Amino acid sequence: MFRRQLAQETAESEAAYRAETERMARGFVAAKMEDFMQKCHEAARKRKTFIRVEYQIDDVLFRRDEASCRELVLEMFKGPMAELGFPDGARPHPDSRSRYRVLFFLEGKWDGEDVAACSEPTVVPAPAGTRITCPICHEHRPAVALIPCGHVICRDCQRCQQIRQCPMCREATSSATRGLFMD
pTM: 0.57
Q: For the chain, how far is it from start to end, CA to CA, in angstroms?
A: 65
- Cβ atoms 181, 129 nearer than 8 A: yes
What are the backbone dihedrals phi and psi of residue 106, each rounded to the nearest 5 degrees, phi first? -115, 130
Residue 138 confidence (pLDDT): 86
- Per-range mean pLDDT, top range of 43-47, 110-114, 116-120, 135-139: 43-47
Q: What is the pLDDT of residue 111?
A: 80
The whole-number pLDDT of residue 150 equals: 86
Mean pLDDT, residues 97-121 taken together: 66
Query: In this structure, are 63 and 127 located in the same domain?
Result: no
6 pLDDT more than 90: yes
Question: Which of 34-38, 42-46, 138-142 bottoms out in mean pLDDT, i.e. has the lowest?
Answer: 138-142
Q: Where are the alpha helices (DSSP H) in 46-58?
A: none
Whether the per-residue pLDDT at 125 is higher than 50: the answer is no
Higher pLDDT among residues 14 and 123, named by residue = 14
Q: What are phi and psi of 105, to 5 degrees?
A: -110, 145
Provide the pLDDT for residue 102: 62
For 63, the domain range is 2-110
Residue 36 within any structural domain of the chain:
yes
Average pLDDT over residues 169-176: 83
**For 78-87, b where at least 16 C-beta lie within 10 A, e where not — what string?**
ebbbbbbebe
pLDDT of amino acid 57: 79
Neighbours of 2 (CB within 10 A): 6
The domain boundary, picked from 53, 86, 110, lies at 110
Q: Which of 38, 44, 170, 35 is nearest to 114 (CA)?
A: 44
Q: Indicate if the pLDDT at residue 31 is higher than 50.
A: yes
The pLDDT value given to residue 124:
43
Give yes or no for residue 62 having a pLDDT over 90: no
Domain identity same for 78 and 142? no
How do residues 45-60 score in pLDDT, each as one tens digit?
Answer: 998 999 999 888 777 7
Using the 3D structure, point to which of 86, 110, 134 is the last residue of a domain: 110
| Claim to verify: residue 103 and residue 160 sit in the same structural domain | no
What's the pLDDT score for residue 7?
92
Greater pLDDT, 172 or 69: 172
Tell whether 117 is covered by a domain: no
Contacts of 28 by beta carbon, 8 Å cutoff, 6+ apart = 57, 58, 61, 73
Q: Are residues 106 and 126 in the same domain?
A: no
CA distance 75 to 106: 12
